[in-house]
Amino acid sequence: MSIGFWQIAIVVVLVVLLFGRGKISDLMGDVAKGIKSFKKGMKDPSQDQGDSTSSQDQSNEDSNLDKK
């Protein structure tokens, strides 16, 4: 048994009805940003690791100061 055009069309219509067109476009925009970020990270991971570590340390220090 294979999936036909009509089954796919029905699923697409149901998804659009459940989530709405705006919500789906927002989700696709977020997916695109994630893919771009992933590709950027794959190009030069050594630079990104140093930046993320320092920003994580800074955020940890900020949260520790807030707790005191």
Q: Are 31 and 24 in contact (CB under 8 A)?
A: no
**Cβ neighbours for 67, distance < 8 A, ≥ 6 positions apart:** none
CA dihedral sign of residues 43, 44, 50, 55:
negative
| Token pair belonging to 64 | 């520790």
As averages over each run of 10 residues, the pLDDT of the chain (68 residues) reads 88 88 86 92 66 51 50
Q: What is the pLDDT of residue 68?
A: 46
* Residue 19: per-residue pLDDT: 84
pLDDT for residue 61: 54
